[in-house]
Amino acid sequence: MRTSKFILFLSTILLIVIGIFSSIWMTKQHHNDHAIQTAKISPVIFIPGSSATINRFDDLFTSINKQSKGTPATPVLKLQVNKDGSFTYNGKLATNNRQPFIVIGFEDNSDSYDNIKRQAKWLASAMNALQQTYHFRDFSAIGHSNGGLDWTEYLENYYNINDFHIKTLMTLGTPYNFSESSTTKQTAMLTDLMDNSDNLPTDLTVYSVAGSEDYSDDGIVPVQSVLSGKYIFQKQVKKYTQITVSGDNAEHSNLPENPEVVQLIQEYILNNKSNDNHSRRR
Amino acid sequence: MISLAVYFRLFDRLFLNPGSLFPTIFNYKPPHLVDPQIITAISNSLDYCVILILTIAITKNYLTIKGVTDPTFPLIINFSISFLLIILNFQWQSRPIIHFIIFFITIILISESYYWLDHFFHKKIAPYGYIHLGWATLIILLTIGVNMALPLQALQGSYLDFFSSSFFVHFLGIMLVAVLIPILPWLGISIPTEMYNNMTDLIPISTNLNAIYQSVNATVPYPENLYSVFATFSYLGGAGSTLAISIWLLFNQRKKYQKLGWFSIIPSIFNNNQLLLFGLPIMLRPIMLLPMILSSTIGSLIGFTAIKLNILKPAIFNVPMNSPRLLLGFLASQNHWPSLLAVLLVFAVTLLIYQPFLKYVTKEVN
């Protein structure tokens, strides 16, 4: 009987301890969730490609700000994920701007499928850290080159609709089949992305932009490799649109500054009224 | 074996899983000792071992009571069939939903068929002869055939849309759930996962959450619902509010029931009453069904009335995974003390309900 009383006493203490710590957690979580739910900002998050830094999109931002004369320049926050998982921040967001720009780059920006998988995991931790600080839930995504692969990998393996809501994804010169120009040969990465495509958000709108100097490649990425994105996104997301830009500034590295691409970003991401609808937690 | 299975799964769900209770509330990262899928596979294997042991126990006891002198052969066949069904339906990555009643019925029917075979050919044929082997072959083929036509996984559906319907935010719907849910584990049928996992995926509950996040003073659209009433007041220790049983057993005069109380109290606090279902046992024991239904129904009645009369704030918010249900009302209403008192009152009522039934059951002579 003494043992029973002792067990009952210990159980009561356990319940009290759990109650106290759970109560503290509830209070903290409620404030955080409330801030996220009522957040007004809906950032556009950019990821550069391999061998590129977080300054990759500076010219693009200058072009966008030039087009929006009379309005203050869009604030830009740059976040680099270091190899040890820590973050280095540059810049900050203004609370009065509803669609600020955030650039997420990686210290390890080498080009390989293994690194893309690592970058997707780092992207997930960066997104969580950004949400903790800025309390946003809705966002749009732009990825240049391998940055588009990072987004795709993230959406298939880490994205959680209870935590975030992505409205639009735009990929620029993203090599979904790496450097393979054949329409029949599939790399391991493309196969994996196709296999996991049913994890993609069903309400997502995707624009895949291919650059082409001569309708075969953009100097680095074969057009067919970009077009392979259709095998991943079609019939999995709400809308998938393939766009090819050519002429001047259609070369791979210049794609973000291509005037047509700037126009596409303005039209489909920045000025898109449907992007203004706030999502609700499911 | 059942204790091992229950405690291993409890340990995983409280300490090892990244989203589990203690890593969440104490804010630590659980050690990555082993791949989580291996832990799930071990946990599932232990559950299946329980089935195999029950198969042996039920077959032996049933045939011994029936007067079969040597139950070795049907015991081997039943064990093999249970093993085969487990292999055909084994799950690595998620917790299997096991309806014990299916195994029980299968084992009993097979044992009964062997009894008639033995009875008909009593002393006329040698054991393990062609007739026995023919019987075994027929039974195995029949079991595989039925399993292929209706695999066990077909019974594991999602009832999210069903329980999200507006019927379950009204008195009748909630009381129906309160009455019927305790019957399921009593029968050996697994409860829908939506009833014991966090219910906040149900549409009325997530609607409440959205409303309260948009404005702190918002009117909650569905204050009485399965989460705020049933989960908070009728699931204390598992379906049928069986935590009260563990408490009473702690102070039972007979050592074997005391020990059952010692082993079952911690799992019961974390809403797992499997040890009581098999240990007391509760499963398929008519006398235990009434207090389970009464405890569940009265709990929901008290909770529904208190919320309807605005005495209590309804449970709205997500709580850490596997939180004790005794604390759900308090935590999920943002530390509303009257909710905690109300749950403790309901718990006291369940203690009073179970007392006479347990007195009778623990004095029963086998």
Report how far apart, in Å, the C-alpha atoms of B208 and of each of A33, B204, B219 are. Answer: 14, 6, 9
Distance from CA of B237 to the nearest CA of A (A): 13
A 89-128 residues with CB below 8 A of B?
none
Q: Which of B25, B206, B330 sits opposite A21 (nearest CB)?
A: B25
Contacts of B299 (CB under 8 A, 6+ apart): B178, B233, B234, B236, B241, B346, B349, B350
- Residue A185 — pLDDT band, cuts 50, 70, 90? confident
E runs forming strands in chain A: 44-47, 76-81, 87-90, 101-106, 138-144, 165-172, 205-212, 239-246
**pLDDT on residue B157:** 62
Contacts of A11 (CB under 8 A, 6+ apart): B265, B266, B269
- Residue A277 — pLDDT band, cuts 50, 70, 90? very low
Angstrom distance (rounded) from CA A131 to CA A160: 13
- pLDDT tens digits, residue range A189-218? 999 999 999 889 988 999 999 888 776 777
Most confident of A239-248, B102-111, B297-306: B297-306
**pLDDT on residue B324:** 93
Q: Which residues of A touch B214 (CB under 8 A)?
A: 37-38
User: What are phi and psi for residue A263, nearest 5 degrees?
Assistant: -65, -40
Judge: A15–B334 Cβ closer than 8 Å, yes or no: no
- pLDDT tens digits, residue range A79-135? 999 998 899 998 877 767 788 999 999 998 888 899 999 999 999 999 999 988 888
Residue B41, classified by CB atoms within 10 Å of its CB into exposed (0-12), middle (13-18) or buried (19+), is middle
Residue B335 sits at the chain A interface (C-beta within 8 Å): yes
**pLDDT on residue A62:** 87
Inform me whether the pLDDT recorded for A35 exceeds 70. Answer: yes
Judge: B210–A281 Cβ closer than 8 Å, yes or no: yes
Instruction: Report the percentage of chain B scoring pLDDT > 90.
Output: 38
**What DSSP letter does each residue of B249-276 carry, written as one string?**
HHT-SSHHHHHHHHHHHHHHHTT--HHH
The answer to whether B190 and B99 have CB atoms below 8 angstroms apart is yes
Q: Was domain A42-270 assigned CATH 3.40.50.2300?
A: no
Which tokens sit at A5? 């009383």
Q: Domain limits of chain B?
A: 35-155, 159-364
Inform me whether the pLDDT recorded for B281 exceeds 50. Answer: yes
- pLDDT tens digits, residue range A216-258? 777 788 888 898 999 999 888 999 999 988 876 778 888 888 8
Residue A163 sits at the chain B interface (C-beta within 8 Å): no
Report CA B281 to chain centroid distance, whole Å: 13
Inform me whether the pLDDT recorded for A74 exceeds 90. Answer: no
**What letter does residue A51 receive in the DSSP assignment?**
T
Judge: B265–A23 Cβ closer than 8 Å, yes or no: no
User: What are phi and psi for residue A251, nearest 5 degrees?
Assistant: -70, 150
User: What are phi and psi for residue A85, nearest 5 degrees?
Assistant: 90, -5
- Residue B217 — pLDDT band, cuts 50, 70, 90? low
Residue B366, classified by CB atoms within 10 Å of its CB into exposed (0-12), middle (13-18) or buried (19+), is exposed
Residue with tokens 């298939």: A156
**pLDDT on residue A279:** 42
Angstrom distance (rounded) from CA A118 to CA B242: 47
Judge: A19–B327 Cβ closer than 8 Å, yes or no: yes
Q: Domain limits of chain A?
A: 1-38, 42-270
Higher pLDDT, A20 or B121: A20
Angstrom distance (rounded) from CA A116 to CA A137: 24
- Residue A281 — pLDDT band, cuts 50, 70, 90? very low
Inform me whether the pLDDT recorded for A276 exceeds 70. Answer: no
The answer to whether A241 and A247 have CB atoms below 8 angstroms apart is no
- Residue B21 — pLDDT band, cuts 50, 70, 90? confident
Q: Which of B210, B324, B332 sits opposite A280 (nearest CB)?
A: B210
- pLDDT tens digits, residue range A125-182? 999 999 888 888 889 999 999 999 999 999 999 998 878 899 899 999 999 998 887 7
